[in-house]
Amino acid sequence: MIAETVDKALRRFEEHNCQPGVIKRAGKILHRFIEKGLHPEFINIIQRRRLHDTINYVSNHSPFYKRMFSQYGIRPEHIQAIEDLRKLPFTTVRDIRQWQDFLCVPEEKLSAVFTTSGTTGEPKRVYYTFREMQILSNLYGMALRIAHSGRLVALIALPIGHGLWIGGASVQRAVERAGGLPLTVGANNPGETIKWMERFAPNVVFSSPSYMTALTREAECLGYRCALDKIILAGELLTSEHKKLFTGYWDAAVFDSYGSTEIGSAQTIALPECTAIHLNDLHLITEIIDPITGNPANQGELVFTTIRRDGMPLIRYRSGDKARWADCACWLPFKAINLKGRTDDMIVAGDMNIYGRVIADEVGKIDGTTGRVLITVSREDLTDKISVMVEGYVAEEKIQKAILSAYPELEKNMENGNLRLAIESVNSLASQIKDVKVLDLRQG
């Protein structure tokens, strides 16, 4: 009964067009409630209630899930518990390329669309209704006010070249909803970004680990430092080295987060003292599976079921992101994970399996690099060629040495003509949203 009351109260608040003053007060109330009253057993009950509503909803409104349920002989009443989700097949990236099949509302009820960067083929697109955008903005704004009270002038140093990316758009909405001033300056030239910081004196920065690295190194070169209270990062893996650099130079608390176009932004958080990222269990049911067998695993691929969506709900969506379950000693009662990169960044070239994340991690240890890497695989005269483009000021010999330290057998493959390696360092890869991007240009 208590969980049902909490569920109803949260739903009413989430969907309300909240003014900044309400968000500020709600942030304080929710902080106390999460810390002292939102126990895991309550969360489980709320998840089951919302899952029940979602399964009934998609069975009536989603063309894709109607067909799936019919094909597998599944009726809504067969999914009573979270474990029952395993009776259903996964939803994949290929499935949602046919986005029309997932829409549960008429087009006139859609309020926002976000897409992936579309590195190969048509980008994925995910639609949101006005109600969903209200919910995301309220929750994100409230999370900001839980973490930060008082003056909020937020520099949003996230890529804006890809105009339909969910990251920058959702941050701007959240800052406005929280009663702050958003400065959406993008993530291009770090020198220009510092000029914006000098003009407006922001006390909170939203960015990615790689661009924040470039910004910090540019600030060091210029001898610039301002009083930052919070640095909130997203879009990439945050390493302990990143965190040490940012806290050491800016003397700011560093928060980490994870989200995606498919599940929405502001769906996870890691506080400065956290050792893992916490999931928004009130909006997501999360699984980790073995990517080969599809069975539950302690470490593997993240699978999400959205339980507060009405535009394009997703059931058992395979994210392509790798993670493992984790424990965290902080006060947040939500499940926690450690991110491990992507399941699809493996390069098979020259009889070798090479991972983009491994290359990026090794190259990122070199002084002068930001950690952002573009890896392109092509074929010349029937020979595979890996081209590694690194953002930063660093000698190409150092980059090659770092790559060979991770993959010593690569040198032998190059010597025998089985594989070619090209390396280039560039000033900026700012149009690249993620820190690691892998493009396979080979045909056939």
The tens digit of pLDDT for each residue in 188-232 reads 888 999 999 999 999 999 998 878 888 998 899 999 999 999 999
pLDDT category at 163 given cuts 50, 70, 90 is: low
Q: Give residues with Cβ within 8 angstroms of 163, minimum separation 6.
A: none
Is pLDDT of 172 > 70? Answer: yes
Among candidate residues 135, 186, 134, the one with its CA nearest the CA of residue 161: 186
pLDDT computed for residue 162 by the predictor:
60
- CATH 3.30.300.30 residue ranges of the chain are 346-440
Q: Confirm if 287 and 297 have CB atoms less than 8 A apart.
A: no
Among candidate residues 62, 93, 88, 55, the one with its CA nearest the CA of residue 73: 88
Q: Confirm if 369 and 390 have CB atoms less than 8 A apart.
A: yes
Is pLDDT of 15 > 80? Answer: no
Is pLDDT of 92 > 60? Answer: yes
Q: What angle do CA 309, 313, 314 make, to 5 degrees?
A: 135
pLDDT computed for residue 351 by the predictor:
63
- Under CATH, what is the fold of the domain 1-342? Rossmann fold (3.40.50)
- Under CATH, what is the fold of the domain 346-440? GMP Synthetase; Chain A, domain 3 (3.30.300)
Q: DSSP letter string over 374-442?
A: EEEEEEETTEEEEEEEEEES--HHHHHHHHHHH-THHHHHHHTTSEEEEEEEES--TT-SSSEEEEE--
pLDDT computed for residue 444 by the predictor:
44
Predicted TM-score of the model (pTM): 0.82
Among candidate residues 222, 233, 55, 88, the one with its CA nearest the CA of residue 158: 233
pLDDT computed for residue 118 by the predictor:
45
The tens digit of pLDDT for each residue in 345-394 reads 777 777 677 888 889 888 988 988 888 899 998 878 767 889 999 998 88
pLDDT computed for residue 1 by the predictor:
67
Among candidate residues 239, 267, 262, 211, the one with its CA nearest the CA of residue 341: 239
Helix residue spans in 62-204 (DSSP H):
63-72, 93-96, 130-147, 166-177, 190-200
- CATH 3.40.50.12780 residue ranges of the chain are 1-342
Is pLDDT of 240 > 70? Answer: yes
Tokens of 365: 């240890």
Is pLDDT of 428 > 50? Answer: yes
| Residue in the structure block whose two tokens are 């176009």 | 261
Is pLDDT of 70 > 70? Answer: yes
The tens digit of pLDDT for each residue in 256-272 reads 998 888 998 879 999 99
Percent of the chain with pLDDT over 90: 55
pLDDT computed for residue 432 by the predictor:
77
How far is the C-alpha of 436 from the C-alpha of 444, rounded, in Å?
Answer: 24
Is pLDDT of 283 > 70? Answer: yes
Tokens of 75: 């009726």
Is pLDDT of 184 > 50? Answer: yes
The tens digit of pLDDT for each residue in 16-58 reads 777 888 888 877 888 888 877 788 888 999 999 999 999 999 9
The tens digit of pLDDT for each residue in 387-420 reads 999 998 889 899 999 999 988 888 877 886 778 8
